[in-house]
């Protein structure tokens, strides 16, 4: 399945309060000539009627569900640790987080987000609270994360060993590579272009990866250890919902949510 494709075009628009939702934040169109509209494309869904049907905040609903894995059994491989600090931090060994499946099939670290259906050209005011990406016991924490366009991302190291934070290029966001030899944090970073995913790695410890989705809106979630996700405060309408996983790829499905509706939608990989 293809990755979501983010195309960009300049918009010159007047400041106007519009639709909020999906867990907070005020949606505004900004009077800046180079405002970018994210136009999504994905092969997984067929409807051409994606749209917000009701902008009344009192009518918003909630979308919940579980992402499951139903493919062949996967035994997570043991990581070959190459650093004494990392060895000491994992006395029982460290196993890959690439595919984390709960006993009932719940799939962790899946980025779930609205791909189509929100008001075209919308720019949501980013959260002022930074997202945090830490390096703990020679692992990126969390493995998968979402930041909004313009939201600060603080990258930390809690480890008394050397790491480097290598943000790989793609999607129009810049590459950078910063060494972190002692516990501390880098200056906050922001990203201007939607991208699923922005990839982070440590070149010193080749098992250390994190996948950060940069989205232009707050309508998203990341599955927990049980595979569950929640997208609250969603305006009634018809949407494309996208689930992205680092190894299993992408699934996109259509979903319609009504006024004040709480709807459940489960997604299964591996079938």
Q: What ranges do the domains of the chain cover?
A: 5-269
Which residues in the chain come in under a pLDDT of 70? 1-20, 23-48, 271
Q: In what order do the strands lie in the sheet with 139-141?
A: 139-141, 131-136, 153-157, 184-185
As its CATH architecture, domain 5-269 has Sandwich (2.60)
Closest to 25 in 3D by CA, of 111, 106, 123: 123
Kindly report, residue by residue over 55-83, the tens digit of the pLDDT: 899 999 999 999 999 999 888 999 999 89
Residue 91 in tokens: 């006395």
CA 14 – CA 27 distance, rounded (Å): 13
Nearest to 38 by CA among 197, 167, 214, 222: 214
Q: Which of 192, 184, 180, 110 is nearest to 147 (CA)?
A: 192
Count of alpha carbons within 13 Å of 131, Cβ hemisphere only? Answer: 23
pLDDT at residue 69, as a whole number: 97
At residue 119, the pLDDT reads: 84
pLDDT in the model for residue 97: 96
Q: What is the pTM of this model?
A: 0.86
Q: Which helix (H) or strand (E) holds 134?
A: strand 131-136
Instruction: Quote the pLDDT of residue 147.
Output: 97
Q: Are 68 and 134 in contact (CB under 8 A)?
A: no
């Amino acid at each position: 399945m293809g990755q979501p494709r983010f195309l960009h075009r300049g918009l010159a628009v007047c400041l106007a309060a519009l639709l909020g939702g999906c867990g907070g934040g005020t949606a505004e169109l900004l009077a800046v000539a180079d405002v970018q509209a994210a136009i999504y494309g994905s092969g997984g869904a067929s409807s051409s009627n994606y749209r917000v049907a009701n902008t009344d905040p009192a009518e918003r609903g909630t979308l919940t569900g579980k992402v499951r894995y139903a493919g062949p059994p996967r035994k997570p491989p043991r990581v070959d640790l190459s650093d004494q600090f990392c060895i000491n931090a994992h006395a029982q060994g460290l196993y890959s987080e690439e595919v984390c499946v709960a006993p009932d099939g719940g799939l962790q670290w899946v980025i779930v987000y609205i791909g189509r259906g929100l008001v075209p050209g919308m720019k949501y005011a980013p959260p002022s609270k930074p997202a945090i990406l830490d390096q703990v016991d020679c692992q990126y924490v969390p493995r998968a994360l979402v930041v909004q366009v313009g939201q600060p991302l603080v990258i930390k190291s809690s480890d008394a060993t050397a790491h480097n934070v290598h943000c790989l290029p793609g999607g129009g966001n810049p590459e950078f590579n910063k060494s972190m030899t002692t516990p501390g944090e880098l200056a906050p970073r922001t990203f201007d272009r939607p991208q699923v995913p922005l990839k982070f790695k440590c070149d010193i410890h080749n098992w250390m990866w994190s996948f950060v989705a940069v989205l232009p809106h707050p309508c998203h979630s990341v599955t927990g250890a049980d595979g569950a996700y929640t997208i609250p405060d969603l305006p009634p309408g018809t949407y494309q919902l996208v689930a992205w996983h680092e190894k299993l790829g992408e699934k996109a499905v259509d979903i319609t949510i009504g006024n004040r509706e709480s709807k459940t939608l489960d997604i299964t990989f591996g079938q």
